[in-house]
Structure formats: structure tokens, C-alpha cells
């Protein structure tokens, strides 16, 4: 599967830890920014998260190569699986120039209704939009 979504990330001085690397917790915020950008493609600028949303239920992350302040990076995002109440998401932080994968994450997201505080099926409209965008999902 290929990645159809890219989000370029600007590294800031405050992102750097004492070793000169982008802090691990900051990299999670990079994934968050890209994940939001991914879903904004389907909903436009206004997402009504309180009605029906998908939230992260499980996250795995592999820090493979340190990210340095002068690196040019982007986050690649794709949905790998859609179930009834959950979907699988994969993200990678890659060097724009060398295409080296710096950090990789896999996530399970679940349908959730904030007003009711309960899990819900993934909305059919969202499933349809993801399948059209990804066009490789079965």
C-alpha cells in the first residue's frame, strides 16, 4: 500500500531535547497533526467531533533514526483496515530528501460518540470517504 496523504512538519527549536534530537513526545504531536489533516480532507475545515468521531485506542511507535533540527520531514498517513467499530492507521515520519523512515507508528482507532460517552460503529459516510481516498482497501 502507498501513502496518499502527506503533511510537511516544521521542526522548531523547542522540539529538540538535550541530545539534539526531536523529543519522542513531540513526535507524537507530529503524528496528531498529520492525523487531523488526514481526516480534515473528508470533512473540510469543520469536523463535528462531538457527534461521531474516531479516537486512538491503541498506539505502537518505533523510533528508528533520530530526527535532528535541520532535517526536512513529513508525516505519511494511511488507513490500512476498516472494521465495524475500529480502523487501523499507519503513519511514518520520513526525511523528505532521503526518504529514510525516521519513526513509524501503527494505531487502532475506534468510533466514539462524545455526547453519549460510548463507542459507536465507524460512520458509513466516513468509511465510504476513506475507501474512495485510499482506493486500495478491500
Give the CATH class of 5-134: alpha beta
* 49 has pLDDT over 70: no
Share of the chain above pLDDT 70, in %: 90
pTM score, whole prediction: 0.91
Residue 111's pLDDT is 92
Residue 29's pLDDT is 97
Cβ–Cβ under 8 Å, residues 90 and 116: no
| Average pLDDT of span 56-68 | 97
Residue 53's pLDDT is 80
Return d(Cα 111, Cα 6) in angstroms, integer.
23
Give per-residue pLDDT as tens, 86-100. 999 999 999 999 999
* 46 has pLDDT over 70: no
Domain ranges of the chain: 5-134
Give per-residue pLDDT as tens, 20-32. 999 999 999 999 9
CB neighbours of 102 closer than 8 A, spacing ≥ 6? 63, 64, 65, 66, 67, 71, 73, 92, 93, 94, 95
Amino acid at each position: 500500500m502507498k501513502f496518499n496523504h502527506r503533511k510537511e512538519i516544521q521542526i522548531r527549536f523547542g522540539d529538540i531535547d538535550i541530545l539534539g534530537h526531536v523529543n519522542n513526545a513531540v513526535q507524537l504531536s507530529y503524528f496528531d497533526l498529520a492525523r487531523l489533516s488526514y481526516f480534515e480532507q473528508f470533512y473540510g475545515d469543520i469536523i463535528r467531533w462531538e457527534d461521531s468521531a474516531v479516537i486512538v485506542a491503541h498506539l505502537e511507535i518505533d523510533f528508528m533514526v533520530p530526527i535532528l533540527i535541520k532535517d526536512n520531514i513529513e508525516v505519511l498517513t494511511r488507513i490500512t483496515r476498516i472494521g465495524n467499530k475500529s480502523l487501523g492507521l499507519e503513519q511514518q515520519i520520513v526525511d523528505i530528501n532521503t526518504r529514510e523512515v525516521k519513526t513509524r507508528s501503527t494505531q487502532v482507532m475506534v468510533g466514539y460518540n462524545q455526547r453519549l460517552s460510548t463507542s459507536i460503529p465507524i460512520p458509513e459516510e466516513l468509511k465510504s470517504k476513506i475507501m474512495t481516498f485510499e482506493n486500495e482497501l478491500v
